[in-house]
Amino acid sequence: MTQKYIIALDQGTTSCRTVILNKEEKIIAKTQQEFQQIFPQPGWVEHDANEILQTQLKTLQQALEQAKISPSQIAGIGITNQRETTVVWNKNTGKPIYNAIVWQDKRTADTCELLKETGLENYVRKTTGLVIDSYFSATKIHWVLNHVDGAQEEAEKGNLLFGTIDSWLLWNLTNGKVHATDYSNASRTMLYNIKNLCWDETLVKELNIPISMLPEVKPSSFHFGNYELEGVQIPIAGIAGDQQSALFGQACFKKGEAKNTYGTGCFMLMNTGENLEYSENGLISTIAWGINNKVYYALEGSVFVAGSAIQWLRDGLQIINNAEESELFAEKVTEENPIYVVPAFAGLGAPYWDMYARGAVFGLTRDTGKNHLIKATLQSLAYQTKDILDVMQKDSMLQLSSLKVDGGACANNLLMQFQADILNVAVERPEEIETTVMGAAYLAGFCVGFWQQSDIINKRKIDKTFTPSFSKEKREKLYRTWQKAVERTKDWID
């Protein structure tokens, strides 16, 4: 019998990846390619949606060649994607009418302020689980319709479609036959009622977005449609936003289990089960996934800048050549580091939600060198994670015994040890840190009968557990100074 495989497409903020897994959940091929980041104005971030599509398809082809398998051996495809990033395209031509506006983009901050002035904050929170912020898709769609000539009119004629990146890929992979998304991605638009599981007419009307633009919303483990490759019909059987996918890939199936992903941003999610729970402390409520005719929810804290702060050291300041060097240079600072970097390059996310904050460095003295700056940048990821974990524990009334971690930066031992020290919680790193793609693969695999949930739990292995070593006094002093630094970055832009 021919060996079968599952493919996961991981469309991230800075790169596209394709991973192929066998029945034993082992990765047999992995390809990756970066694509262009477009910054038309300060605070604006865009991607070329066609470049994303072509890059993703290229990595898929390369992965098949690397694995030496044929399309007939693919049991199913799962998709995971950068969330909130917004594409509007013409359904007749298949062409985007504007670049994809990325989740980090801040151009709609003023629109968000106007929405707040109408008194919609509480309604948005109760309906969508979110706060009013330029992070989410709704105001990005509104901006495109108002700034591209003729867009509003075309949308009202039913000629335009909106999608987060998963929908854009799905529409193209199915040759325009399927315009859909899953519960997890829909819950990131600020237009979706996560309690009643439908597009919210009040919010759609407020932003003048024709409901005909919006995709159908399906479970995360579901046969969305087929991708035809060399005459073979391959089921697209799983879709989830990247952070929910990582939560699934970490096997956080029980209420109260949490993970933190260190990617371009830093995202902590806690499974709250089938109950929709609201935060009193600046976190957002979101749909984790839909599976087996049930919907599961999560509390989430979002840090906008994490791995991208390391990219800033590499590309902006050019003081490291690659991410791995950050650990090497940071280790040279053996004394307590007096420098604090607050990487609020795109404002502050949870629990502060300040669109007008900007990045800063504090504590500079004449003997400050690049090693201090590198170490402080790494430590900022851990401090921002503590900001979120503290309020998450308050909201859930649960104390975590350990934090599951994943994403590229969790390979950094110095960062993970500091994370455990500043949280006073054990940090658990799995052998397979590619949990985002694993989640997408699992969702697809479940749909086509390739795996069961018990397979994930039984085969999950821990690479290393980092245990706290700081005294209470040291931990509290360091964190107090961090909080002081954060306060001084707030409301910087008038």
- The ranges assigned to domains in the chain are 5-218, 251-493
One-letter amino acid of 392: M
Which pairs from 393-396 meet CB under 8 Å and 24+ separation?
A: 394/280, 394/281, 395/277, 395/279, 395/280, 395/281, 395/283, 395/299, 396/256, 396/270, 396/272, 396/277, 396/299
334, burial (CB in 10 Å: exposed 0-12, middle 13-18, buried 19+): exposed
Work out the percent of the chain whose per-residue pLDDT is above 90: 71
Residues listed for the chain? 494
Q: What is the structure's pLDDT at 297?
A: 94
- The token duo for 346 is 């795109």
Residues comprising the binding site for ATP? 13-15, 264, 307, 311, 408
Looking at per-residue pLDDT, the higher value among 407 and 357 belongs to 357
Q: For residue range 272-300, list pLDDT tens digits in order.
A: 889 898 888 888 899 999 998 999 999 99
The Cβ of residue 36 has, within 10 Å, a number of other Cβ atoms equal to 11
Mean pLDDT across 310-316: 91
Q: What CATH architecture applies to the domain 251-493?
A: 2-Layer Sandwich (3.30)
Residues comprising the binding site for sn-glycerol 3-phosphate? 13, 83-84, 135, 242
pLDDT band for 396, please (50, 70, 90 cuts).
confident
Three-class secondary structure of residue 406 per DSSP: strand
Q: What is the structure's pLDDT at 351?
A: 85
Mean pLDDT across 352-359: 88
Strands 87-90, 180-182: pairing kind: unpaired
Q: Tokens 């759609």 label which residue?
A: 204
Mean pLDDT across 167-184: 97
Q: Which residues pair with 296 in a beta bridge?
A: 289
Residues comprising the binding site? 13-15, 17, 83-84, 135, 242-243, 264, 307, 311, 408, 412
Strand ranges inside 230-293, DSSP E: 232-241, 258-262, 266-273, 284-291
Q: What is the structure's pLDDT at 452?
A: 83
**What is the C-alpha separation between 255 and 275, in angstroms, rounded?**
9
The Cβ of residue 65 has, within 10 Å, a number of other Cβ atoms equal to 11
What is the widest separation between alpha-carbon atoms in the chain?
69
Q: What is the structure's pLDDT at 352?
A: 86
Work out the percent of the chain whose per-residue pLDDT is above 70: 100
Q: What is the structure's pLDDT at 35?
A: 94
Q: What is the structure's pLDDT at 280?
A: 83
Question: Which residue in 8, 10, 16, 18 sits closest to 35, CA to CA?
Answer: 16
Q: For residue range 197-226, list pLDDT tens digits in order.
A: 999 999 999 999 999 999 999 999 999 999
Q: For residue range 62-104, list pLDDT tens digits in order.
A: 999 999 999 999 999 999 999 999 999 999 999 999 999 999 8
Handedness of CA 212, 213, 219, 225 (dihedral sign): positive
Q: What is the structure's pLDDT at 478?
A: 95
CATH topology of domain 5-218: Nucleotidyltransferase; domain 5 (3.30.420)
**What is the C-alpha separation between 311 and 49, in angstroms, rounded?**
22
The H or E element that residue 54 is part of is helix 49-67
**What is the C-alpha separation between 163 and 213, in angstroms, rounded?**
8
Q: What is the structure's pLDDT at 86?
A: 97
Q: For residue range 101-155, list pLDDT tens digits in order.
A: 999 898 999 999 999 999 999 999 999 999 898 989 999 999 999 999 999 999 9
Looking at per-residue pLDDT, the higher value among 453 and 333 belongs to 333
The mean-pLDDT minimum among 55-59, 343-347, 400-404 falls in 400-404
**What is the C-alpha separation between 137 and 290, in angstroms, rounded?**
20
**What is the C-alpha separation between 124 and 192, in angstroms, rounded?**
9
Residues comprising the binding site for ADP? 13, 17, 264, 307, 408, 412
Residue 221's φ and ψ, nearest 5 degrees, are -110, 100
Question: Which residue in 349, 447, 128, 82 sits closest to 240, CA to CA?
Answer: 82
CATH topology of 5-218 equal to that of 251-493?
yes
Residues comprising the binding site for glycerol? 83-84, 135, 242-243
Q: Measured between alpha carbons, how far apart are the two ends of the chain, in Å?
A: 66
Q: Tokens 């898709």 label which residue?
A: 137
Angle at 384 between CA 379 and CA 385, to 5 degrees: 95
Three-class secondary structure of residue 386 per DSSP: helix
The mean-pLDDT minimum among 159-173, 216-230, 303-317, 359-373 falls in 303-317
* pLDDT of residue 1 exceeding 60: no
Q: What is the structure's pLDDT at 337?
A: 82
